Amino acid sequence: MGAGFALRDATPADVPVVLYFVRALAEYEKLLHEAKGTKADFAAALFGATPRAAAIIAEADDKAVGLCIWYRTFSTFTARHGIWVEDIFVEPAYRGQGIARAIFRRLAQQVKNEGGARLEWNVLDWNEPAIGTYRAMGARGLDQWTMQRVDGAALDRLAE
């Protein structure tokens, strides 16, 4: 962690903050039209009877300035679990202070402490500032892989 910020696990009281940052990230990525999650959705996903994800809140100047949502994955090749970072967002005014790197460090330590093998995430190919940050942390792009997705009407048809 840096001198000017702190990281903590999100609590149920943070659901409005989570929703705010998810929408801020969606707007930054020009995908706000796809951000359909509600407070109730995030409350259930993060704090319901069977939580599906977890969140880290970054705070500075007595307010939330960043968010990371993550969940566990499993690799059949390593036969070990990992962590997938679904979203990470730091308010523009607080970027460059090491907040994102501290979040990734915390998650890397968690993976290692739990005996896991991987810390993974996606980044949009046009997001050069983020890609530069990730390369400086030692991340490598998996260019030979392409992400696949089935959703909406295609998901409905496939499930029939």
Average pLDDT over residues 101-117: 97
Tens digit of pLDDT for each residue in 58-96? 999 999 999 999 999 999 999 999 999 999 999 999 999
Q: Got the DSSP string for 55-122?
A: EEEEEETTEEEEEEEEEEEEETTTTEEEEEEEEEEE-GGGTTSSHHHHHHHHHHHHHHHTT--EEEE-
Average pLDDT, the chain: 95
How does residue 2 score in pLDDT terms, banded at 50, 70 and 90? very low
Q: Provide the pLDDT for residue 147.
A: 86
Task: Determine whether 134 is an active site residue.
Answer: yes
Residue 151 resides in a domain: yes
**Residue 1: inside a domain:** no
Q: What is the pLDDT of residue 117?
A: 96
In a domain, residue 108? The reply is yes
Report phi then psi at 9, rounded to 5: -70, 140
Of 20, 28, 94, 134, which is the active-site residue?
134
Answer whether residue 76 is part of any domain.
Answer: yes
pLDDT of residue 144: 87
Instruction: List the domain range (segments joined by +) for residue 28.
Output: 6-159
Mean pLDDT calculated for residue range 27-39:
96
pLDDT at residue number 3: 63
- β-partners of residue 53 are none
pLDDT tens per residue, range 141-154: 998 888 898 988 99
pTM of the model: 0.91
Q: What is the CATH number of the domain that holds 23?
A: 3.40.630.30
Nearest-angstrom CA–CA distance, 20 and 12: 14
**What is the per-residue pLDDT for 61?**
97
Average pLDDT over residues 22-31: 96
Count how many domains the chain has.
Answer: 1
